[in-house]
Amino acid sequence: MNALVTRNRIIGLAFAALVFGLDQFVKWLVIAPLRLREVGVIELLPFFDLRYTENFGVSLGMLQATSMEMRWLLVAVTAMIALVVLVWMFREKTLPDILGLAMILGGALGNILDRFGLGYVIDYADFHIGDFRPFLIFNVADAAITIGVVIILARSFFVREKGGDHEQPAQQPAES
């Protein structure tokens, strides 16, 4: 295996661990020192608050875990998705693709740990314009997953890499 590819994959694993650690650290900050669970809301800016929320669903609040069986089903399904992302990450070679997948993996692991240990995911970031909320309340893991997906989609639409790190230019026909 190419040393550069191995280095990129190690960087990807380290980045996924960093995203996971940052997510868990910020969740600890809002729960323990800031006591957001008890306080409820901390207004930081006119358009951004910390607002404690227990998310029993997955993306956009879908698939609510209303029973213990559903909780463990969500843990299993999200763990399988994380495993697929990990395998995909190990198949990639370029650092931008690996980092996008690492963001998804690190964020997924952060939310899986919450759901496994608590039965729900802790959300707290509330971006709003007056009463208008363009996003649901989210956390670092959700933001990392979203940014990672955007990176992967953008690269798949705008970067063409065939047979290596760079696409070969098309041969021009000889002029007569």
DSSP letters spanning 54-78: EE-SSGGG-S---SHHHHHHHHHHH
Active site residue 23: no
Give me the catalytic one of 123, 126, 131, 165: 123
How wide is the angle at C-alpha 17 spanned by C-alphas 99 and 154, nearest 5°? Answer: 20
Give me the catalytic one of 23, 97, 114, 142: 142
Q: Is the distance from CB of 130 to CB of 44 less than 8 angstroms?
A: no
Active site residue 126: no
Crossing angle of the two packed helices 3-31 and 95-118, in degrees rounded to 10: 40
Residues marked active site are found at: 123, 142
